[in-house]
Structure 1
Amino acid sequence: MSFYQSVFELIDMRSFSNLWFWIALAVMWSSASHWVLGVPYDMVLRARRNGGQIEQDLEDLVRINTNRLLYIANVSGLWMLALGCFLLTTLCVLGFVYRVEFAQALFLLGFPMSLVGLISLSTARLIQHEMSQGEQLRARLTRHRLYVQMTGVISIFVTALWGMYQNLSVGPLGG
């Protein structure tokens, strides 16, 4: 058995039958739900409960992260949009036209996360425009987290359906 056969047997390029793919999917959505605009959500809850310095820290952290996100969007947003659309289109065509399962898996991971990126950009613009602080900021972050979670639930559902379809239709032997 060659080195490459060993590696591909360990990794298993059939993504939807691979446990690592499903672990990566769960970790990705768990992290996306926990980190709201780069701020851990438990910090939002602690600021709501305790206020004071924790709330000031939350506002500072949100201000830093929203300014950073909006700066990146203003400086290189068009290039990032073009590159993201190119990559997602390439993955979509490879995955669903040419039936490359690995590309399907990457598309089903990447497309919803690009939506989360757009939701984050929109929320950052709203926070900066409104100059949100205190309860208004916490409500905005909670709403953002809810939108990310709804996107995640739909994404996991669609990915699970597609993965089951792939596993049942293609089968373990590839045909």
Structure 2
Amino acid sequence: MRSFSSLWYWIALAVLWSSVSHWVMGVPFDLITRARRQDEGAADDLAMLAGINARRMLYISRRGGMWVIGFVCFMLTILGLLAALYGVEFAQAVLLMFAPMVLVGYLTLRLALRVEAEAPAGTALVRLLMRHRFVTQLIGMIAIFVTALFGMYQNIT
């Protein structure tokens, strides 16, 4: 269970953040860039796909949101206890992957609420999705940096 010295952990971390920053609220980044270049068909597809994914996320959060929040808090607590009190390296590694994703999930849900309420289209929607992608990438860079520092410390000691 040596996570931080395993190449597979670092590959999984890179794939996780790469996927999260590519799929902005379930919309692929290449569709956002095509819509940004004033492609009418891509802009229509973007608005439709963003609306569908926003409604899907909000349906799930409205139907079972409390259960999801309870489960996420339970998992964070268990991982936090195993990581901090018992020093389980696998729990530390998973916590460093899971905790920032909770923040990204919250921001994505907020974006879905905004897309549902405002129903932006065209450049306004592109701007919202690009801003969300930037914030997601920023969180990812900080998370990878903190994970790398902690992993180096863990491997040295």
Query: Would the TM-score normalized by the shorter structure come out above 0.5?
Result: yes
Pair 96,85 (structure 1): closer, same or farther in 2 beyond 3 Å? same
Q: 1:131 aligns with which of 119, 123, 127?
A: 119
Q: Give the drift of 1:48.
A: 1.3
Percent identical across equivalent pairs? 52
Q: Which has the higher contact order (CA 8 A, sep 6+)?
A: 2
Does residue 86 of structure 2 align to residue 108 of structure 1?
A: no
Computing the radius of gyration over CA atoms, which structure comes out larger, 1 or 2?
Answer: 1
Offset, 1:126 = 1.0
Unaligned runs of 5+ in 1: 1-12, 170-175
Residues 1:144 and 2:132 aligned together: yes
Q: Does 1:164 align with 2:128?
A: no
Correspondence 1:73-84 to 2 at 5 A = 73-84=61-72
Query: Which residue, 23, 48, 62 being the options, matches 1:35?
Result: 23
Aligned to 1:6: none
| Structure 2 counterpart of 1:35, one-letter code | W
One-letter code aligned to 2:46: L
Distance in 2, matches of 1:30 and 1:106, equals 17
Question: For the residues of structure 2 that align with 1:25 and 1:126, how far apart are their CA atoms?
Answer: 29
Q: Cα RMSD between the aligned structures?
A: 0.7
Q: Write the deviation string for residues 127-172 of structure 1: whole angstroms up to 9, x where unpaired.
A: 1111111111000000000110011011001100110010001xxx
Q: Residue 93 of structure 1 corresponds to which residue in structure 2?
A: 81
Partner SS state of residue 17, structure 1: coil
What is the aligned length? 157
SS of corresponding position for 1:15 = coil
Assess if the C-alpha contact under 8 Å between 2:27 and 2:50 holds in 1. yes
Gaps of 5+ in 2: none
